[in-house]
Amino acid sequence: MTDLSITDDRALTYFAEVVSAGSIRAAARRLFIGPPALSRTIASLEQRVGEELLHRHATGVRPTPAGEALLRYVRAREDLDATLADELSAARNELSGKVRIAVGEGFLTGLIEEVLPSVFAEHPAVSVEVLNAGTSDIRQAVIDADVDYGIGAHVVPDAALSVIAESTDSLAVAVSPDHPLAEVSMVTCAMLAEHAGAFLLPGFGLRALTDDLQRDEGTAFRVRMETGSVNALVAFAASGAGYVLLPGFVTRPYANLVSRPLSAASVSQVTASLLAQVGRPVSLAASELEARLSRYVQDLNAN
């Protein structure tokens, strides 16, 4: 019989991070440790448990049946820790504990500047772990309970996902004030084909919308740059190098960009969603933050 008392919290945390990241190298970057040290920790954990926990393959790792069982154990422990934190907080008449959130980069500044300061000021014992990721990774992190909440754009629905709040805005063309497209009142896809653009990499919700738009309009955009960073897109447009396609709730805070509506047979609508896993227990700290996250998401398309 496996004795999990011989395992340590750090090893279990590292193991869960490896499963979440999908590879030793990616997890090591998140944990700020070297891949060899992380590999040794996982190997030691497998030796102590007496089972192989990960299938290693060319593109990364995935949990074995024993690894899936251990991951469920880790998540159950995390839930128990959160419950204990809630009960101790209630005894002290204060909120405490960690809330984990996965967000797209376009929502990162708003989260940190508009939501978190009041939480930190009112609840000093509450901490927040923020994971910056693409839409598909945010969606999976919520489904796998790696985070308490996710905020993403154009998220594919899933039976395991609960949409708590959402906000919708039109996909628009953002350029620098001196770009030729800034001189027109409405931009057509034919106009876009004459200029260079920058786009998010595949795996991002906004990239899926852009690909759909090209297919529906029978247009091929001139891709000058692809990136996994919304900030890089904004910098590209602000430099005058070309245009980007982003919803108003992303570009509105940037005074150095001009946004123009897109004229298309079916202008793409971008929906930002606050997500949680269906049926997942919510701590008191998470519940408090959820209300503020909901207001933030619902107010995204306010002028």
Spatial distance between the Cα atoms of 93 and 79, rounded to a whole number of angstroms: 20
- Write down all domains in the chain, each with its CATH number in brackets: 4-71 (1.10.10.10), 90-166+272-298 (3.40.190.10), 168-270 (3.40.190.290)
pLDDT in tens, 133-168: 888 889 999 998 889 999 998 888 999 999 999 998
Average model confidence (pLDDT) across the chain: 87
Summarised one tens digit per residue, pLDDT across range 49-75 is 889 999 988 888 999 999 999 988 888
Q: What is the pLDDT of residue 292?
A: 94
Strand, helix or coil at 139?
Answer: helix
Q: Which two tokens stand for residue 58?
A: 């060319």
Q: Give the burial class of 19: count Cβ atoms within 10 A of its Cβ; 0-12 exposed, 13-18 middle, 19 or more buried.
A: buried
Tally helices (H) and strands (E) across the chain: 12, 12
Question: CB 184: neighbour CB atoms within 10 A?
Answer: 13
Helix (H) or strand (E) holding 198: strand 196-200
